[in-house]
Structures are given as C-alpha cells and as structure tokens.
Amino acid sequence: MTTFPIRAHQAFVFYMRFQKVDGPYCRPCGRAINRALTTKTLAQGWWSPLSLIIFAPFALISNLIAHLIINRLPRPATGPHGGRLDEGNPVVLRPLAYVALSLN
C-alpha cells in the first residue's frame, strides 16, 4: 500500500503553520482530506510574502499530485471497515476556496 502526504499551509503576517497528514487512505477518505486541506490552503495560505511565493504553491502542487494518486486508488471494499469520511463538494465548489480572490 502506498503512503503519501497531503499538506496544508496557513500563513499570517508574522507566523506560518504547516500541516501534513500521511496515508494510506481509501479513495473517499483521501479525497475528503485532500479537499479539506487544499481548501484551507487556498483560503489561508497567501497572507505572507514567503507563503505567496514558496509555501502555498508547494502545498497546492503537492496536493495536486496526491489528487492524481488518490484517483487511481481502487474503490474500498464493502464490509466492516469502519466509517468513511464524507468527500463533500469538490474544491472549486467550496466558497472558502475563493476568499483570497475576493479581496483583490
């Protein structure tokens, strides 16, 4: 089973916070985590100069690669595997992903 990280970056003027969640994931759980952390990065990852240039793009590109890996995962088998996370809406349909764009 392949493991890979999904990342988020939050930037404030004088402070940055990094988050990384390592797999392995099933397809629905991987999509849910990837969508949540990508949305968090799009909304909160641009508020310092270094984040704008380096850290937020790195997290987004890393999550794009994770998204491609997640889409190749097989569907989870049915059975008593426990609960699965709700995938929710795709990132482009989440209003929080557009917070940085609305301030321009």
When pLDDT is cut at 50, 70 and 90, the band that residue 84 belongs to is: confident
Distance between CA atoms of 65 and 30, rounded to whole angstroms? 12
H helices, E strands: number in the chain: 4, 2
Q: Please tell me the pTM assigned to this model.
A: 0.85
Q: Looking at residue 7, what is its pLDDT? A: 96
Q: Looking at residue 91, what is its pLDDT? A: 86
Q: Looking at residue 104, what is its pLDDT? A: 45
The pLDDT tens digits for 44-61 are 998 899 999 999 999 999
Rounded to the nearest angstrom, the gap between the alpha carbon of residue 76 and the centroid of all alpha carbons in its chain is 20
By C-alpha distance, which of 3, 103, 94, 89 is closest to 41? Answer: 94
